[in-house]
């Protein structure tokens, strides 16, 4: 019989129970016991849900209080000394590494002041992982036994699970050398790490685990020969040390074919492939397997919310069965369902026609099971017919198609993609802004307080009028501007109090989007987002931000940035259509934003920031035609949005939490860019941007942490940057927006930042 498998399930809870529990613990409002209790309840619920749905192979150790890669670092004792010296409880060490920790001394505890580890995007998703950080002094050893404990926890509930671990090669490749060990190549630590992996595997076997999922997602990247060879080393050692372990090696998010030589012959029980992303790799995948190895067929999309075409999926699995036999096939999700909302049944306000097109994580369990039943010869005719009806209805819906939008994109020309003048001429025209050396600014948002959220809820419930809400927002804008005056910034923002999310806010005002009430997915830690869903061709019916930006500019003579989210980021941070290319969707969004940018300029806003933090995230994972095309159309989409303004209007953009390529940033031709930088340890990262021709601000403090860096730390950062970057071109700013911080934290952080800028302004006066 063919078995069904789910590679992982969302851990956040259908009603964001994990967010509430962790933030309550961080705030000191609940105990660690309270937090652990919520975690245990969520795990039990998720396992039971999958068992009741009929899933055969259910993942355990897919739960985390912050991030699964950070969990692995804690498990393997990859804890830099700066965290170990405080002798914190394990859960607090985890959180300190993930978000930093700063607290004063008490009678019983010493003061703690430690920044977070670097956080970066998980491949091409909007999930962020905490990057493992290695040094010459890293000593691998088991620090607890979380995978075993959670396997036994499920077993006590009568549920057999398949524990999941990040693979040893991927774990090292996804990490980096610490700032005091920059000559260290992480993959060189493999020999020291493998005995600890073997110890975990043996403990899982002793606990009764029948099979173990080992995720090696780096197999979809361009790998050098040293890394490819590491797979042979790693799995040969593990097979020798733990010969009874039945390992299923899992890949996802891309094409494994260029690295199949690293997979072929590995002593593992089977290999999982993502056939949603790359269905054409089936023949090569089968050829790489031995006559005994299992083929796990990832055919239900773990990354998007559209219903699977189940009839098509059944045919694909049947083609796999024809190649290897029924006894060697598993039907699976393409990846963990971490990237999808928990349950469509929680959506009570979605249009019924549109809702019928979706499948969230809970519904995807049924999809996996239906496909499995179909290929096993069970009667699921009614389910397949209902699915076919939904697929057909979506394709022919009037919601999907807008002839005017399609015509505008079809008529796209070179005039739509270039500013009127080169940067030098624009810079001259922008002297009218009267900015000092080292101009200071923030990225856009200020704290979203409880009062803001309460007023927004009152508006949504009809408890206050639109006029009352508008007056409240105007007062919030006034307060934000007064705050910036007091801190001493040079270029202001209005603070975005009216915005719920940097993508959702725009999607709600664009035609072609649908929205959820509870469609939350984890972005990082306790930061969850509700991605909009692009259901049809996109256009802008009316201005979206002009009223608030115009009001803010009227309150102060200082330059006030109009704040927009860029086309690629709106695309990437939404659930995109799967029936139209991402290029076309980005172009449609770009034209909608072009109208907004032009309206902002007409309203007197002369500094406009169009953020593109997801532009690196969208970069195809491998070199090749797809990537070459992306690096053309992605920046072009940005230029479509921004190229209709005068030379005197200054265009900004912002990027964060990715390893950026300066060439991609240069192609945007923004006047000023700001880039997350505070947790970058490698001075070469500054050097990468040393010849960037336009203006740049490398972020000086971590906005995800409550920690307040002292002024001396800011001054050192600025000095390091100025060692390789021209002073005339440098802006001073945080890593990202300040939405998640508290006002008192912002005041202290920004005051130290501004005072540091003044030191250098005086130095070069």
Q: Which residues are annotated as a binding site for L-homocysteine?
A: 443-445, 611
Per the CB < 8 A criterion, the answer to whether 441 and 653 are in contact is no
The pair of structure tokens assigned to 643 is 């190229």
Residues belonging to the binding site are 19, 126, 443-445, 496, 573, 611, 654, 656, 676, 736
* CA distances in angstroms from 330 to 371, 396, 560, 603, listed in the order given: 11, 33, 56, 59
Residues belonging to the binding site for L-methionine are 443-445, 496, 611
Catalytic residue list: 704
Distance, CA of 736 to chain centre = 14
Hey, how many other C-beta atoms are within 10 angstroms of the C-beta on 597?
24
Q: Please calculate the CA angle 421-423-424 and round it to the nearest 5 degrees.
A: 100
The pair of structure tokens assigned to 199 is 């110890």
Per the CB < 8 A criterion, the answer to whether 563 and 493 are in contact is yes
Which DSSP helix (H) or strand (E) runs through 273?
A: strand 270-274
Three-class SS state of 453: helix
Per the CB < 8 A criterion, the answer to whether 450 and 497 are in contact is no
**Using CA atoms, how far apart are residues 66 and 100, in angstroms rounded to an integer?**
13
Per the CB < 8 A criterion, the answer to whether 641 and 595 are in contact is no
Per the CB < 8 A criterion, the answer to whether 343 and 28 are in contact is no
Residues belonging to the binding site for 5-methyltetrahydropteroyltri-L-glutamate are 19, 126, 573
**Using CA atoms, how far apart are residues 97 and 31, in angstroms rounded to an integer?**
20
For the chain, how big is the Rg over CA atoms in Å? 26
**Using CA atoms, how far apart are residues 333 and 672, in angstroms rounded to an integer?**
42
**Using CA atoms, how far apart are residues 545 and 502, in angstroms rounded to an integer?**
12
The pair of structure tokens assigned to 373 is 């039943």
The pair of structure tokens assigned to 529 is 């987002």
Nearest in space to 611 (alpha carbons), one of 741, 531, 503, 694: 503
Nearest in space to 77 (alpha carbons), one of 168, 144, 176: 144
Residues belonging to the binding site for Zn(2+) are 654, 656, 676, 736
* CA distances in angstroms from 127 to 27, 69, 303, 573, 617, listed in the order given: 24, 12, 11, 10, 10
Supply the angle between the helices 146-156 and 68-75 in degrees, to the nearest 10: 110
β-bridge mates for residue 513, sequence order: 534
**Using CA atoms, how far apart are residues 249 and 402, in angstroms rounded to an integer?**
44
């Amino acid at each position: 019989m063919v078995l069904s498998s789910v590679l992982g399930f969302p851990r956040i809870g259908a009603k964001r129970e994990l967010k509430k529990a962790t933030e309550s613990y961080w705030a000191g409002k609940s105990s660690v016991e309270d937090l652990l209790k919520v975690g245990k309840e969520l795990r039990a619920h998720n396992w039971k849900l999958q068992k009741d749905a009929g899933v055969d192979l259910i993942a355990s150790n897919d739960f985390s209080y912050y991030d699964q890669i950070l969990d692995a670092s804690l498990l393997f004792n990859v804890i830099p000394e700066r965290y170990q010296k405080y002798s914190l409880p394990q859960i607090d060490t985890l959180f300190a590494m993930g978000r930093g920790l700063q607290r004063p001394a008490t009678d019983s505890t010493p003061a703690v002041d430690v920044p977070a580890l670097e956080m970066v995007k998980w491949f091409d998703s909007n999930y962020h992982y905490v990057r493992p950080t290695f040094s010459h002094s890293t000593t691998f050893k088991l620090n607890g036994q979380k995978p075993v404990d959670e396997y036994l926890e499920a077993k006590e509930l009568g549920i057999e699970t398949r524990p999941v671990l990040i693979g040893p090669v991927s774990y090292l490749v996804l990490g980096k050398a610490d700032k005091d060990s920059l000559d260290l190549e992480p993959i060189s630590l493999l020999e020291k790490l493998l005995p600890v992996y073997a110890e975990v595997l043996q403990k899982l076997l002793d606990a009764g685990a029948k099979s173990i999922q080992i995720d090696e997602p780096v197999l979809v990247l361009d790998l050098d020969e040293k890394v490819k060879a590491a797979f042979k080393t790693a799995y040969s050692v593990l097979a020798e040390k733990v010969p009874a372990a039945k390992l299923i090696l899992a890949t996802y998010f891309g094409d494994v074919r260029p690295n199949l030589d690293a997979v072929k012959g590995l002593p593992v029980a089977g290999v999982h492939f993502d056939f949603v992303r790359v269905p054409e790799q089936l023949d090569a995948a089968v050829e790489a397997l031995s006559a005994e190895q299992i083929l796990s067929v990832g055919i239900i999309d773990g990354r998007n919310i559209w219903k699977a075409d189940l009839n098509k999926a059944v045919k694909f699995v049947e083609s796999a069965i024809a190649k290897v036999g029924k006894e060697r096939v598993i039907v699976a999700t393409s990846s963990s369902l971490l990237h999808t909302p928990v349950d469509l049944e929680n959506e009570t306000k979605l249009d019924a026609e549109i809702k019928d097109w979706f499948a969230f994580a809970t519904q995807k369990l049924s999809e996996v099971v239906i496909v499995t039943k179909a290929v096993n010869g069970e009667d699921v005719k009614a389910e397949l017919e209902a699915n076919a009806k939904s697929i057909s209805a979506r394709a022919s819906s009037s919601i999907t198609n807008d002839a005017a939008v399609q015509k505008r994109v079809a008529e796209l020309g070179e005039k739509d993609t270039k500013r009127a003048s080169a940067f030098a001429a624009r810079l001259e025209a922008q002297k009218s802004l009267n900015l000092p050396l080292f101009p200071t600014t923030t990225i856009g948002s200020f704290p979203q307080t409880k009062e803001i959220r309460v007023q927004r809820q009152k508006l949504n419930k009809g408890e206050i009028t639109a006029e009352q809400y508008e007056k409240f927002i105007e007062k919030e804008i006034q307060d934000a501007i007064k705050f910036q005056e007091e801190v001493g910034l040079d270029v202001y923002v209005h603070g975005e109090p009216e915005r719920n999310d940097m993508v959702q806010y725009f999607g709600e005002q664009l035609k072609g989007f649908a929205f959820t009430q509870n469609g939350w997915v984890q972005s990082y830690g306790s930061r969850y987002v509700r991605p909009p869903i692009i259901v049809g061709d996109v256009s802008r019916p009316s201005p979206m931000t002009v009223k608030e930006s115009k009001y803010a500019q009227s309150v102060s003579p200082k330059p006030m940035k109009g704040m927009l989210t860029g086309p690629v980021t709106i695309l990437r941070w939404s659930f995109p259509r799967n029936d139209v290319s991402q290029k076309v969707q980005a172009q449609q969004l770009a034209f909608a934003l072009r109208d907004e940018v032009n309206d902002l300029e007409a309203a007197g806003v002369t500094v406009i920031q169009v953020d593109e933090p997801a532009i690196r995230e969208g970069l195809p994972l491998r070199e090749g035609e797809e990537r070459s095309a992306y690096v053309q159309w992605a920046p072009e989409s940005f230029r479509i949005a921004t190229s209709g303004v005068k030379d005197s209007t200054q265009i900004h953009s912002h990027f964060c939490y990715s390893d950026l390529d300066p060439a991609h940033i240069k192609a945007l031709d923004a006047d000023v860019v700001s880039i997350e930088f505070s947790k970058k340890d490698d001075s070469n990262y500054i050097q990468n941007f040393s010849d960037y021709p336009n203006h740049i601000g490398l972020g000086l403090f971590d906005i995800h942490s409550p920690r307040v860096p002292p002024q001396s730390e800011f001054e050192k950062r600025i000095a390091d940057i100025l060692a390789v970057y021209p002073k005339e071109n440098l802006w001073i700013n945080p890593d990202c927006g300040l939405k998640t911080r508290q006002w008192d934290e912002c005041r202290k952080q920004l005051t130290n930042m501004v005072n540091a800028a003044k030191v250098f302004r005086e130095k070069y006066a």
